[in-house]
Structure 1
Amino acid sequence: MSMYTLSGDSSQEKAVKLSSRGGVTNAIEGRHNKTADVVGKGPETALADGSDIPEKEDALQRKVTAHDWNGPDDPENPLNWPLWQRIYHTTVPSLFGFAVTLGSSVYTPGYPDVEKRFKVSSTVALLPLSLYVLGLAFGPVLAAPISETLGRRVVYLISSPIAAMFTLGAGFSNTIAALAITRFFAGFFGSPALAVGAGTNVDLWAPVHRAAAASAFLLAPVLGPAIGPAVGGFAAQYKGWRWTQWPILFLLVPVYLYSLGMKETYKKIILQKRAKRLGIPPPPKVGPSGLAAVKFLITVTLFRPVRMIFTEPIVFFFSFYIGFNFSVLFAFFDAFPIVFEGVYHFDRGFSGLTFLGIGFGSCLGVATTMILNRLRYHKEYLRSHKEGRGGAVAPEHRLYAAMIGSFGVPVGLFWFAWTSRHDVHWISPVLATVPFAWGNISIFNAATLYLVDVYGPLNGASALAATGLVRYIAGAVSPLFTVQMYDRMGIAWATSLLGFLSLTMLPIPWVLFKFGPQVREKSHFDTIKA
């Protein structure tokens, strides 16, 4: 611990105790005022005895402000937190995401019981599934204002208990209307944890290391729905449809307790708390405040994403590509019982286990994204440093996983279509879901990283909101017509139709890899120029 004198105002000297890491560890003392306002960056500093400052500490001697981090090594910057802390804070949104997305599909094995219990059609009995997924689409409208004004931590701590309460209500519902409404709000209040999870990862990880963390987080929207039917199948078979809701609570409660150790990761809120703690001017407010700020955030999270869908070719094509893939995933919730219960005569519990092929394929997709990022993106990052470009990498280098994965979706669909027969062993259609899921998550992960790199933090958030809106709306709608489509067309041709549609979208990542720079130049929004 050393005492340094910061000079920069002839009328006032301020003593600040600094640790060896440069953090402020004591109150700032003023000669004339006990509460000192320290502003500015890079003042000349000297030791109290007038000797020179050691070179290794020279960069740390700056006036303390709340305008920005105190240099690249500021210990309060989440990028500089210990590795274990960053891993912990990364797992929180991942676990919340898994619990919330599992809640979408865990209901599906129980919908035949709902159909009988409330004497409704299969389409109406599937509404609680569709409305839950629709709630996931609109949750970011709630998350953005809270995250911007109060921080990301508050979003996790407030929204998740409300989602749990509506899940509890769904389990005790005595009418189909009550079940559908409570499921919608369970999804609506559960999705903010998903919405701010991407931002949390951006706070914690530098771009060169972000792919691994983001891939683990982005696995949740696919792995949750894949595991849900396996859990819900046995719950519905042995305990009834109401027990399909309790696994959501069994996950949400321990994850919520696990999340209580979180710290805030959002830069703006951290700097505001620093200013309050040290009694220095807060960060300058940028943009509107009050109700105008809420209006602005709703615009950013709802209207801007819609605008980007129709004005930005990159957002348009990836939104509908990802949306299609997820609509197929949710269509499988209806198709699998038709195949494995109707053709292979599985009971509901074992029929749900067949979704584990999707879970395995999703894990392979995450591994693919991480490996290709290490082999290709990281290599370009190092080359950029050697060439003096400061680590700037063209966003198109994020697309390798999507390019390779684009073949997995049609291969899996055609394989599933023409092997789901009595004379073919049941393991074949299960294995067919592996390349489909591998391709799906590879495209999803690569596109997400690409959009963030192209549009930056703010517009990138709107681009991701656009893909999320299309993804979950498509997922909400597809189960409502899947049964009718499979009844009329048969398993082979209904699934083949999906396979042919996937072939029309296969060129998207390849075309953007080739022509992405030209497309970015014509964007209506600020984009990276690398």
Structure 2
Amino acid sequence: MPREEWYVMSGSDIHGGETSPSIFEVEKHAATNDKQKPISPGNPRRSEEEAEKQLAHRSSSPPQHEGTTKHQNPLDDWNGPADLDNPHNWGTWTRVYHATVPGLFGFVVTFGTSVYTPALPLISTSFHISHTTALLGLTVYTLGLAFGPVISAPLSETHGRKIVYLVSSPIFMLFTLGAGFSNSFASLIVCRFFAGMAGSPALAVGAGTNADLFPPSRRAVVTSLFLMAPFAGPSLGPVIGGFAAQYKGWRWTQWCMLFISVAVYALALPMKETYKPVILARRAKKLGISAEKPSAQSSAAVKSSLVQNFIRPLHMLCTEPVVFFLSLYNAFAFAILFLFFAAFPLVFQRPPYNFTTSQSGLTFLGIGLGVLLASLTGVLIDRSIYQPQHQRASAAGKPHAQPEHRLYSAMVGSFGIPLGLFWFGWAAEAGRHWAVLVVAAVPFAWGNLCLFISAALFMTDIYGPRNGASALAANGIFRYTLGAVFPLFTVQMYQKLGTGWATSLLGFLSVLMLPIPWVLFKRGPDIRKRSRYPVVM
């Protein structure tokens, strides 16, 4: 079987008559073929998109032998490159709608992390607990976001994207409702944890939905705009939560989450399914073609999902330098953002600023501006730098530009993180005007998202769709775990070291990590040669 044919079949959970190879067989075969076939203009390694188009073209051609119905079976592939059921062929606004809704779901879920924090003093008083204990409501919610995708991602591959959105969101709203009605801190913690776990599919499945809708050549623009939503959620949460907590009480921070969730859910109801295997299976069912799979194949699918969504991400995190160092850098920068949820109130609600709860929440608008600028930076760099590199590679007979060209955003953004931290810390220590501190948060947030955009694109380009998803899953587990832990020691660190040195400690650590994208840009090809997984060379 030609390489591009089994590649597409194995990556699409085909329900046809023949059994697809396991993911480990696919990777082993791919690695062997890559070593045997030299890369040259006459025999370039095909990209996933080109291979898929070629298979689609063959599937629309007449069979070569009488009685052969393999390429005529609607379960195998699209009817041709112009198949209207293929989400890539939907209208532009239809695809924009289907990409926007997952982004809004991501906004709602990440909004729930920070909308809780302005109510910490009220929660401490209401349940007679310490400020640090009250922060557990943020910690457990974030841990739910970290480990929920282990369950939700396999479900989306079995039943499709839409059903996961439409089922998980009501569960998220029910637990949010339970958190708002909690009369004990224990029940609040339990409801917050399961709300985070139920809401996490939006973060895990959203990237897959975008891959369903857009080809890799447009991946950078879509990724930059999509990631703006879940990063904007934490920056706007304290703004709304501050006013809700100050004027209506801590329970209204949960009601705000609920109101926004209902609006996004209503917007999601007209969505169509975007996942290719599910679309093909439903189309075959309409034609009366059975899509049942043997139980052994179903067991293999369950095992494959478990490996891909839990075991493999942890293995890649421990064995792949690219995954480990980029995830470490991403997780550290992301954890500082969560640390600021506790640090900003400490700084702004005390002398010389003496802000109210609502005024303190408004200071997070600087982070929101940085997120917006980072998204625009990702689009600008793709158009002005990456696309010309991609065109030159195509003209030279290569299927794609080197993955290292995805790192430009991270390289420029790496300077924004320490700049913002040192600026904020010592401006606050000197008692400068509050606006100086708010502006200092802009380069930090800008660098943070620039780093994550590059990491997502770089790892996906290197490891391909399947292993790239595992690499991003490892990144997510690392990010949200550190994000859950960092706020717990924020108060003690800032009280012991002072604002200047506490924030500078974070700045010095970010300086130590600053060379990571630069080293990967310089030494990336050599590092990729030693990978244990099939990679793009």
Q: What is the TM-score with the length of structure 1 in the denominator? A: 0.87
Partner of 1:14: none
Q: Is the 8 A contact 1:86 1:204 kept in 2?
A: yes
Deviation at 1:386, TM superposition (A): 2.1
Supply the distance in 1 between the matched residues of 2:296 and 2:279 (Cα, whole angstroms): 20
Amino acid at match of 2:376: A
Partner of 2:447: 439
Q: How does 1:101-120 map to 2 (within 5 A)?
A: 101-120=110-129
Partner of 2:214: 205
For 1:80-126, what per-residue CA distance to the aligned partner results, in whole angstroms no more than 9, with x for missing partners?
Answer: 11101110010011000001000000000101111111111112111
Q: How does 1:472-483 map to 2 (within 5 A)?
A: 472-483=480-491
Supply the distance in 2 between the matched residues of 1:393 and 1:289 (Cα, whole angstroms): 37
Amino acid at match of 2:61: G
- The answer on 1:261 being equivalent to 2:270 is yes
Supply the distance in 2 between the matched residues of 1:517 and 1:282 (Cα, whole angstroms): 43
Deviation at 1:522, TM superposition (A): 1.1
Q: What is the TM-score with the length of structure 2 in the denominator? A: 0.85
Q: How does 1:134-283 map to 2 (within 5 A)?
A: 134-280=143-289, 282=291
Q: How does 1:13-32 map to 2 (within 5 A)?
A: none
Gaps in structure 2 of 5+ consecutive residues? 1-57, 65-70
Q: 1:132 aligns with which of 119, 134, 141?
A: 141
Deviation at 1:452, TM superposition (A): 0.9
Amino acid at match of 1:297: S
For 1:343-374, what per-residue CA distance to the aligned partner results, in whole angstroms no more than 9, with x for missing partners?
Answer: 31000001000000000001000000110011
Q: Is the 8 A contact 2:410 2:451 kept in 1?
A: yes
- The answer on 1:404 being equivalent to 2:423 is no
Gaps in structure 1 of 5+ consecutive residues? 1-38, 46-61
Deviation at 1:518, TM superposition (A): 1.3
Supply the distance in 1 between the matched residues of 2:314 and 2:348 (Cα, whole angstroms): 39
Supply the distance in 2 between the matched residues of 1:116 and 1:388 (Cα, whole angstroms): 67
Q: Is the 8 A contact 2:154 2:309 kept in 1?
A: no
Partner of 2:524: 516
With over 3 angstroms needed to count, the CA separation of the structure-2 counterparts of 1:493 and 1:387, relative to structure 1, is: same
Supply the distance in 2 between the matched residues of 1:398 and 1:274 (Cα, whole angstroms): 37
Deviation at 1:41, TM superposition (A): 4.9
Amino acid at match of 1:504: L
- SS of aligned partner of 1:407: helix
- The answer on 1:507 being equivalent to 2:515 is yes
Partner of 2:79: 70
Deviation at 1:72, TM superposition (A): 2.2
Larger radius of gyration: 1
Supply the distance in 2 between the matched residues of 1:458 and 1:288 (Cα, whole angstroms): 22
Deviation at 1:280, TM superposition (A): 3.8
Amino acid at match of 1:471: R
Amino acid at match of 2:62: P
Deviation at 1:430, TM superposition (A): 0.6
Supply the distance in 1 between the matched residues of 2:268 and 2:209 (Cα, whole angstroms): 13
Deviation at 1:421, TM superposition (A): 3.8
Partner of 1:455: 463
For 1:442-480, what per-residue CA distance to the aligned partner results, in whole angstroms no more than 9, with x for missing partners?
Answer: 001111111111111111111010000000000000110
Matched positions, count: 473
Supply the distance in 2 between the matched residues of 1:422 and 1:439 (Cα, whole angstroms): 24
Q: Is the 8 A contact 1:366 1:441 kept in 2?
A: yes
Q: Is the 8 A contact 1:152 1:200 kept in 2?
A: yes
RMSD across aligned positions (CA): 1.8
Amino acid at match of 1:371: L
Supply the distance in 2 between the matched residues of 1:253 and 1:74 (Cα, whole angstroms): 34
Deviation at 1:175, TM superposition (A): 0.5
Partner of 1:485: 493
Supply the distance in 1 between the matched residues of 2:525 and 2:346 (Cα, whole angstroms): 45
Q: Is the 8 A contact 2:366 2:438 kept in 1?
A: yes
- SS of aligned partner of 2:392: helix
- SS of aligned partner of 2:200: helix
Deviation at 1:288, TM superposition (A): 5.8
- The answer on 1:298 being equivalent to 2:317 is no
- The answer on 1:43 being equivalent to 2:62 is yes
